[in-house]
């Protein structure tokens, strides 16, 4: 069994891989964990993790700049229905469009937009950074061990707003309810960083491996 963390030039990939390796030791299966930008590795993968760090535009450009990567991601996720987990901006890329820097097309796997985190006239600061409580909205196989008031680690200035609220698995309150995790069939992702969220993050990654 192979899990590939997609290396397209963004994100702390070693930290993510190490967290998945820890979850792998807790899971019922024995995965090989590979960090790779090789299209053939993604083709051979049973599961995929799409990290993300920096702007929506920079992340999408990173994917576009690797020949064949976008097509293979679409083939693996939409046609072959391989489970994928997106982290932070990696999850945001699931959207139809993002508006960071300039309007940019996303992967359009979960229809919606990524817009500037608008917390109105509150005392909260942007970026939303640090530990925050989670609230379960819809059940999901990957987030099944997360309960209300579990904490996770966030750092972001933009938020994913899906068209269909049924795709929202978890929210967090930061002056308002903000989407913290999404699910749709074989597609899962979190705005928070599971690799920085201690036991909660490890449980989620273990669930993903055990799908």
- Predicted pLDDT of residue 25: 87
What domains does the chain contain, in order, with CATH numbers?
A: 2-209 (3.40.50.880)
Query: φ and ψ at 60, to 5 degrees?
Result: -65, -40
- Predicted pLDDT of residue 199: 94
Per-residue pLDDT tens digits for 70-98: 999 999 999 999 999 999 999 999 999 99
- Predicted pLDDT of residue 29: 80
Q: How far is CA 27 from the centre of its chain?
A: 20
Compute the distance between CA of residue 188 and CA of residue 85 in angstroms, rounded to an integer. Answer: 5
Instruction: Report, as an integer, the average pLDDT of 187-207.
Output: 96
- Predicted pLDDT of residue 59: 95
pTM for this prediction: 0.96
Per-residue pLDDT tens digits for 11-68: 778 899 999 999 998 777 889 999 999 999 999 999 999 999 889 999 999 999 999 9
Compute the distance between CA of residue 41 and CA of residue 190 in angstroms, rounded to an integer. Answer: 23
Per-residue pLDDT tens digits for 134-182: 999 998 999 998 999 999 999 999 999 999 999 999 999 999 999 999 9
Q: Which residues are catalytic?
A: 88, 193, 195
User: Could you tell me the maximum CA-CA distance found in the chain, to the nearest angstrom?
Assistant: 49
């Amino acid at each position: 069994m192979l899990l590939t963390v997609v290396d397209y030039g963004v994100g702390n990939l070693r930290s993510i891989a190490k967290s998945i390796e820890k979850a792998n030791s807790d899971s019922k299966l024995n995965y090989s964990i590979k960090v790779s930008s090789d299209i053939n590795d993604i083709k051979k993968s049973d599961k995929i993790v799409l990290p993300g760090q920096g702007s929506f535009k920079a992340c999408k450009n990173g994917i576009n700049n690797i020949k064949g990567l976008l097509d293979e991601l679409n083939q693996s996720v939409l046609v072959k229905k391989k489970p994928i987990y997106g982290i932070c901006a990696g999850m945001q890329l699931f959207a139809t469009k993002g508006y960071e820097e300039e309007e940019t097309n996303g992967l359009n796997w979960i229809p919606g937009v990524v817009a500037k985190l608008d917390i109105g006239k509150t005392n909260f600061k942007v970026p939303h950074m640090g530990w925050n409580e989670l609230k379960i909205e819809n059940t999901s196989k990957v987030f099944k061990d997360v309960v209300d008031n579990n904490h996770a680690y966030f750092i972001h200035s933009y938020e994913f707003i899906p068209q269909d609220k049924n795709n929202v698995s978890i929210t967090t309150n930061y002056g308002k309810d903000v989407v913290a995790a999404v699910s749709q069939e074989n597609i899962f992702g979190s705005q928070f960083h599971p690799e920085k969220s201690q036991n909660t993050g490890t449980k989620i990654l273990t669930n993903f491996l055990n799908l």
